[in-house]
């Protein structure tokens, strides 16, 4: 029977904020934003965006993995860490606040572990920051070597190897490299890393009961840092056998997870998962070094041992192996004041601190108008007609979308999009600056945030990317086509899907392709718009029987999807076709 875990805490809901308060009182170079409880951001106390002339590196994710990520904030590593609730991705507003708080003219690099929530929330924040004029790049880290290559777009999970990417990127930024070059070094580092974990116990979330999933004498191989079940449960063997199994999985030439072969130089990180004594970590590390040298023919250049990315109170460890060369070693050896990096911290206990005020949005500072003009231009009238028709089309097929979604998901696609469409119609009456196309599309994305969930984030990302691409008062059809394509690319970039994955992109991509083709051939823009809407519908219909590689439908057998189109794609086809018809009708009447 499960029992209540013993924890030295106050209210379980306050553990993250109270952790941050303790952290900044302990280390002199750290501070936090005054945004509790929604915004939990730890940042370097010595950076001012107005004067800092280097790239900043930002990371973050769910809490419960301490010292990651806040413990790696400091000169030479991260400029800020965005902290979510325990095992929950931080919200978009928190990520955006962190970007605003530390990013200067050289821009910022976001380093994100490969989990859907982190990718989407950091991705939308990146697009919002770009719309405010910030230079932002993002690198996603997936270093897990425990699971076989998955179907679809999920990919490898981000584990403790992410910390080494932080160090490489932070050192590159401190050396004065450009944003492009810092991002390139981080991406290269992420491709050199493999990690696998083993656990003797399951972690316990604050305020919850202790799981008894693992019985006496059992261990779990390849579990995730959020307590997700691993590849297998086995009897606990001597640690020599555990290490041999882990190293074989990471270095397997069949999986080819890391580009490491005999004769290469490597770096080792032995990471405690939260409740593992340093004695056991040192035993595991020593055995790892010996086996890599004698059994795998590798030269070990650096060894790091400690707790870098934990899983609350989980007993166990992970091993990370990274291919080394002189450039990587130079970055790892570079000085840093990040308190959790294993080189010590200089400085005395700080004087009492006060929270840094939340930075304002630069859009608000520019007093950007977001109200309906008294008189609409020709473009404004067309935009109004298209938006209104698109929203009403989605409302009309709410029940049909729910029915389709019920056969492949949780039957709420229509209800979710209904919320967004209703909000758009309401905001259209008073708030959209319709004569300004770029800002109107931006506001549409903001309206759709009421949908929540993945759909709200994806449509918001799409809208922000389209808006960022639209410039000028009289926008040409070609510019619209390019902006539409930019929105599609943003969805693919942050969501990970592409054509053929049974998603909304299977309607958007054909529409974009036909729109470009017709415009390039000199076809009338309105006709090109209508023809591209036919392509959107055909693309949506083609998802019938398509094996899903994203979302909940990826768990449904192909046979069960034979006659069911993807509801997200059908929703796109519906609103896109309605918008095209509305533009055609208004142009014919004028």
CA angle 128, 395, 450 (to 5 degrees): 30
- Written as six digits, the tokens of 14 are 């306050």
Q: Is 64 annotated as a binding residue?
A: yes
Secondary structure of 295-313 as H, E, C letters: CCCCEEEEEEEECCCCCCC
Q: Where do runs of H (alpha helix) occur along 369-504?
A: 378-396, 398-406, 413-430, 437-447, 453-469, 477-495
**Residue in 547, 350, 457, 378 with CA at minimum distance from that of residue 128:** 457
Q: What CA–CA distances, in Å, run from 90 to 37, 63, 192, 251, 453? A: 11, 9, 27, 33, 13
CB of 243 closer than 8 Å to CB of 219:
no
Active site residue 226: yes
User: Any binding-site annotation on 63?
Assistant: yes
Strands (E), 35-94: 41-44, 56-63, 80-86
The DSSP-derived string for 241-254 is HHHHHHHHHHT-TT
Structure tokens given for 365: 């500072």
User: Residue 457 class from Cβ within 10 Å (0-12 exposed, 13-18 middle, 19+ buried)?
Assistant: buried
**What does the alpha-carbon distance between residue 129 and residue 125 come to, in Å, rounded to a whole number?**
6
Among residues 69, 226, 245, 516, the one annotated as catalytic is 226
Measured between alpha carbons, how far is 472 from 486 in angstroms, rounded to an integer? Answer: 17
Phi, psi for 520 (deg, rounded to 5):
-65, -30
Angle in degrees, CA 144, 150, 154, rounded to 5: 75
- The structure tokens listed for 60 are 């973050």
Taking the CA atoms of residue 312, residue 59, residue 80 and residue 130 in that order, the dihedral angle to the nearest 10 degrees is -150
Give the length of the chain: 590
Question: Is there a binding annotation on residue 113?
Answer: yes
* 539-to-119, 279, 401, 547 alpha-carbon distances in Å: 26, 58, 16, 14
Residues labelled as active-site residues: 226
Q: Binding site residues, as ranges?
A: 62-65, 113, 118
Q: Binding site residues for substrate, as ranges?
A: 62-65, 113, 118
């Amino acid at each position: 029977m499960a029992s209540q875990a013993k924890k030295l805490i106050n209210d379980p809901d306050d553990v993250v904020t109270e952790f941050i308060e303790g952290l900044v009182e302990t280390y002199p170079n750290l501070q936090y934003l005054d945004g509790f409880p929604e915004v939990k951001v730890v940042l370097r106390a010595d950076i001012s965006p107005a004067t800092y002339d280097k790239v900043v590196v930002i990371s973050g994710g769910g809490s419960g993995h301490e010292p990651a990520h806040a413990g790696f904030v400091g000169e030479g590593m991260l400029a800020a860490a965005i902290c979510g609730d325990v095992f929950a991705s931080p919200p978009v507003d928190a990520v955006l606040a962190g970007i605003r708080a530390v990013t200067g003219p050289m821009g910022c690099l976001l380093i994100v572990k490969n989990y859907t929530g982190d990718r989407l929330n950091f991705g939308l924040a990146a697009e919002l920051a770009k719309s405010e004029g910030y230079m932002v790049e993002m690198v996603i880290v997936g270093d897990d070597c425990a699971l076989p290559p998955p179907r679809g777009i999920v990919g490898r999970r981000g584990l403790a190897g992410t910390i080494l990417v932080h160090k490489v990127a932070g050192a590159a930024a401190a050396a004065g490299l450009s944003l492009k070059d810092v991002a390139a070094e981080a991406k290269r580092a992420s491709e050199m890393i493999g990690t696998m974990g083993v656990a003797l116990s399951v972690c316990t979330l604050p305020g919850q009961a202790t799981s008894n999933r693992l019985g006496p004498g059992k261990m779990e191989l390849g579990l995730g840092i959020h307590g997700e079940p691993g590849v297998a449960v086995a009897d606990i063997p001597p640690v020599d056998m555990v290490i041999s199994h882990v190293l074989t999985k990471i270095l397997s030439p069949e999986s080819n997870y890391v580009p490491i072969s005999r004769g290469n130089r490597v770096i080792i990180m032995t990471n405690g998962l939260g409740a593992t004594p340093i004695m056991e970590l040192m035993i595991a590390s020593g055995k790892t070094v010996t086996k890599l040298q004698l059994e795998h023919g590798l030269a070990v250049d650096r060894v790091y041992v400690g707790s870098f990315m934990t899983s609350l109170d989980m007993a166990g460890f992970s091993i990370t192996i990274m291919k080394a060369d002189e450039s990587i070693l130079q970055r790892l050896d570079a000085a840093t004041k990040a308190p959790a990096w294993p080189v010590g911290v200089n400085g005395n206990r700080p004087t009492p601190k006060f929270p840094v005020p939340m930075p304002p949005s630069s859009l608000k500072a520019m007093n950007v108008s977001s109200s309906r003009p008294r008189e609409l231009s020709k473009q404004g009238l067309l935009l109004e007609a298209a938006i209104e028709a698109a929203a009403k089309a989605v409302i009309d097929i709410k029940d049909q979308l729910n029915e389709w979604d019920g056969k492949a998901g949780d039957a709420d696609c229509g209800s979710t999009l209904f919320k967004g469409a209703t909000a758009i119609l309401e905001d259209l009456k008073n708030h959209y600056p319709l004569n300004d196309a770029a800002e109107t599309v931006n506001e549409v994305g903001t309206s759709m945030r009421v949908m929540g969930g993945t759909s709200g984030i994806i449509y918001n990302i799409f809208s922000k990317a389209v808006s960022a691409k639209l410039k000028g008062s009289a926008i040409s059809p070609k510019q619209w086509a390019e902006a539409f394509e930019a929105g599609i690319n943003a969805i693919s970039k942050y969501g990970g899907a592409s054509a053929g994955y049974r998603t909304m992109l299977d309607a958007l991509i054909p529409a974009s392709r036909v729109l470009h083709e017709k415009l390039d051939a000199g076809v009338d823009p309105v006709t090109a718009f209508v023809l591209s809407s036919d392509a959107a519908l055909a693309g949506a219909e083609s998802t019938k029987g398509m094996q899903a590689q994203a979302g909940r439908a990826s768990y449904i057998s192909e046979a069960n999807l034979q006659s069911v189109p993807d509801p997200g794609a059908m929703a796109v086809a519906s609103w896109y076709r309605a918008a095209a018809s509305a533009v055609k009708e208004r142009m014919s009447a004028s």
